Amino acid sequence: MRYSLHVVGGEGETRLVSSLCSHQGSRKTAPSLEIREPGSDPTSTQPPLLLTIRVMKQLCTILGKATAYLPVFIVIIAVVLEYFEDPEPVRYISMAEDMKTLEENFKQQSKSCFILGASGETGKVLLQELLERNVFSKITLIGRRQLTFEGKAHDNLVQEVVDFEKLEDYAAAFQGHDVGYCCMGTTKAKAGTDGFIRVDHDYVLKSAELAKAGGCSQFHLQSSRGADKNSSFLYLKVKGQVEAEIEALGFDRYAVYRPGVLLVDRQESRPAEWLARKFFNGLTSVCSTSMAIPIEAVAKAMVSNTLLTPEQKAEILEHKAIAALGKSAGK
| Residues 67-74: contacts with CB under 8 Å, at least 24 apart | 74/283, 74/286
User: Does an H or E element contain 11, and which?
Assistant: none
Looking at residue 87, the DSSP 8-state letter turns out to be P
* Alpha-carbon distances of 221 from 159, 253, 258, rounded to whole Å: 20, 11, 9
Backbone dihedral region for residue 46 (phi beyond 0: left; psi -120 to 50: alpha; all else: beta): beta
φ, ψ of residue 57 in degrees (nearest 5): -65, -45
Tell me the three state secondary structure of residue 4: strand
State how far the Cα of 43 lies from the Cα of 31, in Å rounded to an integer.
17
Nearest to 122 by CA among 191, 208, 223: 223
User: Does an H or E element contain 257, and which?
Assistant: strand 253-258
**So which residues are the catalytic ones?**
235, 239
User: Does an H or E element contain 276, and which?
Assistant: helix 271-286
Nearest to 174 by CA among 123, 210, 217: 210
Nearest to 119 by CA among 141, 87, 86: 141
State how far the Cα of 130 lies from the Cα of 229, in Å rounded to an integer.
31
In angstroms, what is the C-alpha Rg of the chain?
28
The Cβ of residue 67 has, within 10 Å, a number of other Cβ atoms equal to 9
CB contact at 8 A, 258 and 226:
yes
